[in-house]
Amino acid sequence: MKEQKEFKPYIPADRVAPEFTVTAVILGVILAVVFGAANAYLGLRVGMTVSASIPAAVISMGVIRIILKKKSILENNMVQTIGSAGESLAAGAVFTLPALFMWAAEGKTEAPSFVMITVIAICGGVLGVLFMIPLRTALIVEEHGVLPFPEGQACSEVLLAGEEGGDKSKLVFSGLGISAVYKFIADGLCLFPSEVDWSIKAYPGSGIGADVLPSLVGVGYICGARVSSYLLSGALLGWFVIMPMLVLVGGDAVMYPATEAFNQLSTWDLWDNFIRYIGAGAVAAGGVISLIKSLPLIVKTFSKAIKGFGHTSGQVTRTERSISFPVAIGGALVVALLLWIMPNTPIGLLAALIVIVFGFFFATVSSRMVGLVGSSNNPVSGMAIATLLLATVILKATGSVGITGMTTAICIGTIICIVASMAGDTSQDLKTGYIVGATPIYQQYGELIGTVAAGLAIAGVLYLLNAAWSYGSTQLPAPQATLMKMVVEGVMGGNLPWGLVFTGVFIAVAVEILGIPVLPFAIGLYLPIHLSVPIMAGGLIRLWIEKRKFKTEERRQEVINDGILYSSGMIAGEGIIGILLAVFAVAGIDIGLDGVLGNWGGLAFFAVLIAVMILFIFGGKKRRNGE
């Protein structure tokens, strides 16, 4: 703990700088709405969203430093704090709410009202922020240096690079520029597929591939080889053990939720129909185990918060000021009460209680999870699945059945999904603020402002996209929401594959008994192997650098830090182009070449990307040392 206590932020606690300004709030709100809309489209199109913290920070630096000629790292940090809230809220909403539109299209119910979507979105976002507040000291301060918070750390490096300039700034923006060009070639021009994929015919049911994208390599480098290896281990279990075993044992049998025989299913069909349920069970069990192990730390955190209640503000430094524990918990109870009494939401007293219990649980798990593997790999949909499973069982047991019970379950799942997403985003932003020396209470206000702005916009976006293409169509498949719909219908109809879910639960228990960190392993099992492979590549690059011989330990650390800077730039570059391409897609602009270079072309470009990354990491060191 000695190293943690001696940590000094970039802006000291006794220094006051422009932070919670009108400029930062206005720019942050604009970015929250824009990023929220763009990520809503991406989530409905491909089932994934991009983190907006770093792109928001880069855009903020461009506007505030270059256009407005101001120099304020805390102001830039406030913009990214508010702006990133839109992306997080959108991710939670689009993974669940489209199920209600699909039921309406089937004639089972009416489409959700504008007011209903807005209330659910804003209440979920506010709960996510409030539930994270009591955990700040435990996760952000006391575990500084233990939990990496890759995107929070990357965002702080981007902000510091922009503030300090020089070679550090050049290294970040070199990574940003190269990543942006690469992303545009891959997913804009579509010269090669950004996801390469092979099935192994000699080993039926198995497959290998990678999302050959710079952000994943950057996340892997920042997380390191150990965490990356846990992710890959879970993926290997799914894609090289469970899936081939299903084909070998299942043969020409058909098992729900699949509609074809095991030996007729592709690797993606096997993953989609079976591994995702197993992974959801593992993530749920991992969350329970993580919560149990974290209870002493949580109790200690709450105890400190309660003891601190009533102290004068003069006894707390600027960098320790935070919304108090009683206000946070009291606010959460008020939000739950509003959900219960609002006539436009199908949330009764039982559902409100479920929201409070599950919300706090998954906010805790999510906040810790993003500290391990980053927001981009935070499986909020897995948490939503776990919530839907239990919530639907409870509702069915208490007599709330049929479309009424299913609608309530989806609304509960939506709120929890947004809570988990917002709690993870808040923890990453608070980590960034902790490093640069921001005022926590201002950041928390910023998160709440971004939540309200994005919540007011998300209903319009959902209605617009549904009117344009309709959810479940080829143009807008809404894969996550389709899965949520199937889970709820499965529980209500009594045909959910509980065997698969409990398989995941006991895999997680076995992994915990072996002493392997269960959450990253479970995340690797739940996510496609195509994400774990490039993350592992980034982890191996860092491991190789750490094992190399250097003249001094200081030079070794300098090279490692250069890699973090460059990786931060790669994450930023891909995020910015991802947003731009989403705008192109909504505008109907298509400049793609249909992946003419194929899988091997994608792999070749990925190898070049890694080689360039290594050259820049070592090149940056040589430039500063005059070598």
Q: Which residues of 12-39 are buried (b: 16+ CB within 10 A; e: fewer)?
A: eeeeeeebbbebbbebbbbbbbbbbbbb
Name residue 619's amino acid: G
DSSP code at position 239: I
Task: Indicate the DSSP class of residue 358.
Answer: H
Q: Which of 525, 489, 565 is nearest to 153 (CA)?
A: 565
Q: Minimal CA–CA distance to 29: which of 335, 118, 37?
A: 37
Return the H-helix or E-strand segment holding 94: helix 73-94
3-state helix, strand, coil in the chain (%, to 5): 75, 0, 20
**Owner of token pair 């391409």:** 581
> What gap in Å lies between CA 568 and CA 575, rounded to an integer?
11
What's CA 476's distance to the chain center, in Å? 21
pTM, to two decimals: 0.75
Let me know: does 93 contact 411? Beta carbons within 8 Å.
Answer: no
Give Cα separations from 50 to 40, 126, 209, 603 (angstroms).
10, 21, 20, 22
Residue 3: predicted pLDDT: 42
pLDDT the model gives residue 97: 93
Residue ranges of E strands in 82-229 = 195-199, 207-211
Sign of dihedral through CA atoms 551, 555, 557, 562?
negative
For the chain, domain boundaries: 2-625
| Cis previous bond, 9, omega within 30 | no
Supply the DSSP symbol for 319.
G
Measured on CA atoms in the order 394, 400, 404, 408, is the torsion positive or negative?
A: negative
The H-assigned helical ranges of 548-625 are 553-587, 598-625
Point out the residues of the chain with pLDDT beneath 50: 1-4, 308-314, 620-621, 623-627
pLDDT at 260: 92
Among all chains, which residue has been given the structure tokens 């299209």? 105
Tell me the Ramachandran region of residue 374: left when phi exceeds 0, alpha when psi lies from -120 to 50, beta otherwise: left
Residue with tokens 């293409």: 469
pLDDT score at 145: 77
pLDDT at 333: 92
For residue 186, which of 457, 570, 464, 541 has the smallest C-alpha distance? Answer: 570
**50 CB neighbour count, 10 Å cutoff:** 25
The closest of 221, 162, 210 to 571, measured between CA atoms, is 221
pLDDT tens profile 143-174? 787 788 888 888 888 888 777 655 666 777 88
pLDDT digit string, tens, across residues 380-414: 777 787 888 888 999 999 988 899 999 999 999 99
- The pLDDT of residue 543: 94
According to the model, what pLDDT value does residue 627 have?
43
